[in-house]
Chains A and B, each alone.
Chain A
């Protein structure tokens, strides 16, 4: 197995006028092998979402190195990142607000293809295919975000992320805004896509049960620091770190 994403000493510091600089992510290093699912767990404010944004370069990296397929993308410009976004994609926490309220779901899904200069007929076909793979009929392409349910919207968001056929999918709490039954359906969909497409996942979540079921390895974040890392069973069944123990205790 080859390493598809590598993070070395990633650090994010927020500086605000009149207050102490805040280290949201502090010296986090990890590797993601292709086809692997890495879970990132931690409490609210532990830097999970900031880390997700750093991995997709939606926020700048204060220090450290980020490599995708052995290419250093730590300080690439927006224009140069376009190419990287064909490899790495993201599904957001709140499906409703991750779609432009004034545009149809189809518009959001096909935007990346249009930006890559694909022909309209081809784009429509791809949108239809991808929607069907994500368990939605093609008529959803003409719906607006507020016209569909949360679960359907999240399926559309997954379709949007997958339409460029990325190799890495980052799910930033992709199921936490959904209720339990829908959550299960979405997890099944992700599992299916993982097997079919050989995707690598970074699965950010605070639901340890889901992580245990779905992830190969787990990384525990606390106060922006990587406090424990290992295979899922090892971390969840035999936690070493004090904080991890507490986290697992409070979940069971």
Chain B
């Protein structure tokens, strides 16, 4: 009876695990397709995204121009595809930088503690006390326009989230019996952090980073929309929406095509983040006995 019940739970877990795995693969393929589009945007664009053709300005979506054209007669589809490069790559760089830097700071503070810990945490408190985008706007405005400066501005305000998570995780893990066992095995502090602390907190950090891709993409587009990120005529989704916003009622495709592009990418990366979280959950990961 007991055995029978056990078999059923194992089977259920297996099905659940397979389902999560399939979901993960599905979203990974979608994300890969987006990245593919960004990498090969030059080859995928049916037209030159910057070529103006005033005679065919403001055309509605048609077979020739699937997403229509803008005020200068530039093909919207080409501009959206080429905008993917700017948006997706800057987002990836941004998230990579803040997650690595924030985690490093957090682990260091959590593990060693002391004055440096208090100091860094107060700095991160200050960063967290401001509404994110407002602070980023201030920094971006000081640095001037341009997508690099927008990335720097967002990085400067976003790393504390990771250092908070990493610090909390480190503090919790630091007193785990297996860390004590590692000390007894003669591990140095560096070895303990590298072998036992980082792998055990990778899950939460990775999930936060995955979920942050969507958020950061929106914030970057937001800064560009406000004119603090990508500069005209660069094809970038946020700035494209910004230029088209006055035409929302008359020529909606000018706003909708970059808008839908942002929507789709953010949804894909958010769902990917969720699935990664489910996948990394140790309770689903292996056929646990407990």
Q: Whole-angstrom distance between the alpha carbons of A160 and B178 in the complex?
A: 11
Q: Can you give 18 A-B contacts (C-beta < 8 A)?
A: A58-B183, A78-B183, A81-B186, A90-B184, A92-B180, A99-B178, A100-B178, A100-B200, A103-B199, A108-B178, A108-B181, A111-B195, A112-B184, A112-B185, A116-B186, A146-B290, A147-B287, A149-B289
- Count A-B contacts at CB 8 Å: 81
**Which residues of B line the A interface, CB within 8 A?**
176-178, 180-189, 191, 195-196, 199-200, 282, 286-290
Does residue A186 face the partner (Cβ distance < 8 Å to B)?
Answer: no
Please name the residue on chain B nearest to A172 by beta carbon.
Answer: B177
Q: Whole-angstrom distance between the alpha carbons of A108 and B178 in the complex?
A: 9
Q: Do B186 and A85 have beta carbons less than 8 Å apart?
A: yes
Residue interface mask A131-174, B partner, CB < 8 A = 1: 00000000000001011110000000100110000000000000
Which residues of the partner chain A approach B286 to less than 8 Å between Cβ atoms?
144, 146-147
If the complex has contacts A92-B177, A97-B177, A98-B177, are A85 and B290 also in contact, measured as CB distance less than 8 A? no
Known: A78-B183, A111-B182, A115-B191; 18 extra A-B contacts, CB below 8 A, are A58-B183, A78-B188, A79-B188, A81-B186, A85-B183, A85-B185, A92-B180, A97-B176, A100-B182, A100-B196, A111-B186, A112-B186, A115-B187, A146-B282, A147-B287, A149-B289, A160-B181, A160-B185
Q: Whole-angstrom distance between the alpha carbons of A136 and B185 in the complex?
A: 21
Which residues of the partner chain A approach B186 to less than 8 Å between Cβ atoms?
81-82, 85, 111-112, 115-116
Q: Do B183 and A102 have beta carbons less than 8 Å apart?
A: no
B178's partner among A82, A97, A115 (CB-CB below 8 A) is A97
A111's partner among B176, B185, B200, B289 (CB-CB below 8 A) is B185
Does residue A89 face the partner (Cβ distance < 8 Å to B)?
Answer: yes
Which residues of the partner chain A approach B196 to less than 8 Å between Cβ atoms?
100, 103
Which residues of the partner chain A approach B200 to less than 8 Å between Cβ atoms?
100-102
Q: Whole-angstrom distance between the alpha carbons of A101 and B179 in the complex?
A: 11
Which residues of the partner chain B approach A92 to less than 8 Å between Cβ atoms?
177, 180-181
Q: Whole-angstrom distance between the alpha carbons of A112 and B195 in the complex?
A: 13
Please name the residue on chain A nearest to B197 by beta carbon.
Answer: A100
Q: Do B189 and A146 have beta carbons less than 8 Å apart?
A: no
